[in-house]
């Protein structure tokens, strides 16, 4: 099987790494990829949001499967173009991807499918915003209605800050605050059926103790030792399958991974958001634990042959990923600083590094090229061991003025 992965971040490096381990996958290609994927795949300089360019490349490569990483690629209609050309694509069409592309559309789907979620209002004027903020009270939750790379949400007790975010976004969804821990669950879908992967938890705030602004994610871990029994089965029955059924009823079948971001509230499971692609950095830890070959699994979704009774096999133990971020991230990340110590980090037992925002210069030096620069993954027979491996590897990495959280999976590891 020849597979083309679209995207250039840490999620795509994790996907390429998992596909590279699949005995059925004979070649992995990435477009555009990054310096990390170049070690295990063939990179192709290309704009992945260009449907014509992607379709032409898939044809030249005789790709048996295209795996879409970023949400912007889906909303650009790349999945639609590939399917018209007869190329199997793991990633929904643009119409179904609106479940992430529009928070208002996601709420509409959830209401129709009776999926439990926060009460919300769609607001387009300052008067509507004021009414919604009055109705829900603090903490205020204001979400940009469109794509925002995981950073379009403000949760604050400061009413002025909430109103300012709404004004900056234009059309927003304002909703009630959901209490309780958050869980991320990926479900692989073939348009009709859905199969769950391991649940994970990520850390959205920039700094330790969940302080600072929202980011795209500063770290993640799996498994969740504190998760109640039957959680995954309940999520599939009350959240994922009803949403898939509703999209199919609307003749927009969902093919790809459906990401459910959930809050385990005092009143039960509530959906915080849906994403139309693998979450980043949860993908990095979930795929690390996956023992079932990934390529065959994703292809079965793309061609419509997913067995709803199938459950993937998982490697024992735990995985933790820690994001090394550039100076100024998330507001104004500084690019172009040299990265050192990756060879030393790779020598740490149980750890490895995924590239998220890197490039090489003409002299071959590795430089930062984004806000989230590296994903350092630690593995072990327990969360404590996985944390130790990850942070030992982080300590070997040099990047001027970079920052990372020191408390990823700490509470879970210490009980």
DSSP letter for each residue of 287-334: HHHB-S-HHHHHHHHHTT---TT----B-SSEEEEEEEE-TTTTTS--
Question: Residue 150's pLDDT is what?
Answer: 57
* pTM attached to this predicted model: 0.94
Question: Residue 145's pLDDT is what?
Answer: 86
Domains contained in the chain, CATH given: 2-91 (3.40.50.20), 121-175 (3.30.1490.20), 180-303 (3.30.470.20), 318-414 (3.90.600.10)
CA 138 to chain centre: 28
Question: Residue 349's pLDDT is what?
Answer: 98
Q: List, run by run, the mean pLDDT of 10-residue segments along the chain (415 residues).
A: 98 98 98 98 98 98 98 97 98 97 93 95 94 94 78 86 93 92 98 98 96 94 97 98 98 98 95 96 98 97 94 98 98 97 98 98 97 98 98 98 98 94
Q: Which residues contact 306 (CB under 8 A, 6 or more apart)?
A: 188, 189, 190, 192, 193, 194, 195, 300
Rounded-to-10 torsion of CA 137, 143, 144, 148: 150
Question: Residue 146's pLDDT is what?
Answer: 79
Which structure tokens are listed for 21?
């381990």
Cα–Cα nearest to 379, from 367, 369, 391, 370: 391
**What is the SS3 assignment for 68?**
strand
Question: Residue 63's pLDDT is what?
Answer: 98
């Amino acid at each position: 099987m020849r597979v083309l992965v679209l995207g250039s971040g840490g999620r795509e490096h994790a996907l390429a790494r998992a596909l590279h381990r699949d005995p059925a996958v004979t070649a992995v290609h990435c477009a555009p990829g990054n310096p990390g994927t170049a070690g295990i795949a063939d990179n192709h300089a290309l704009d992945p949001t260009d449907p014509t360019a992607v379709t032409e490349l898939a044809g030249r490569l005789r790709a048996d499967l295209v795996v879409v990483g970023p949400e912007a690629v889906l909303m650009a209609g790349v999945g639609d173009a590939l399917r018209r050309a007869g190329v199997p694509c793991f990633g929904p069409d643009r119409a179904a991807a609106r479940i992430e592309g529009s928070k208002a559309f996601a709420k509409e789907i959830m209401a129709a499918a009776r999926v439990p979620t926060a009460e919300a209002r769609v607001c387009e004027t300052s008067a509507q915003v004021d009414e919604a903020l009055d109705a829900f009270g603090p903490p205020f939750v204001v979400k940009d209605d469109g794509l925002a790379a995981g950073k379009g949400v403000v949760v604050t007790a400061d009413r002025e800050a909430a109103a300012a975010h709404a004004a900056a976004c234009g059309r927003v969804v304002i909703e009630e605050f959901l209490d309780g821990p958050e869980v991320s669950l990926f479900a692989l879908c073939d348009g009709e059926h859905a199969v769950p992967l391991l649940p994970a938890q990520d850390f959205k705030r920039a700094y330790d103790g969940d302080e600072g602004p929202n980011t795209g994610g500063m770290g993640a871990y799996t498994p969740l030792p504190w998760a109640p029994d039957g959680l995954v089965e309940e999520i599939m029955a009350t959240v994922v399958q009803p949403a898939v059924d509703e999209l199919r009823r609307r003749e927009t079948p969902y093919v790809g991974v459906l990401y459910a971001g959930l809050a385990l509230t005092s009143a039960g499971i509530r959906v915080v958001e849906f994403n139309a692609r693998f979450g980043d950095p949860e993908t990095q830890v979930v795929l690390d634990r996956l023992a079932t070959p990934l390529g065959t699994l994703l292809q079965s979704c793309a061609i419509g042959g997913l067995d709803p009774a199938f459950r993937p096999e998982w490697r024992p133990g735990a995985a933790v990923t820690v994001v090394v971020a550039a100076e100024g991230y998330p507001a104004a990340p500084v690019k172009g600083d040299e990265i050192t110590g990756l060879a030393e980090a790779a020598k740490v037992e149980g750890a490895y590094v995924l590239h998220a925002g890197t490039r090489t210069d003409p002299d071959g030096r590795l430089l930062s090229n984004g806000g989230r620069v590296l994903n350092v993954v630690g593995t072990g027979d327990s969360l404590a061991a996985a944390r130790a491996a990850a942070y030992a590897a982080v300590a070997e990495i040099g990047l001027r003025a970079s920052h990372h959280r020191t408390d990823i999976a700490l509470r879970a590891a210490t009980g």
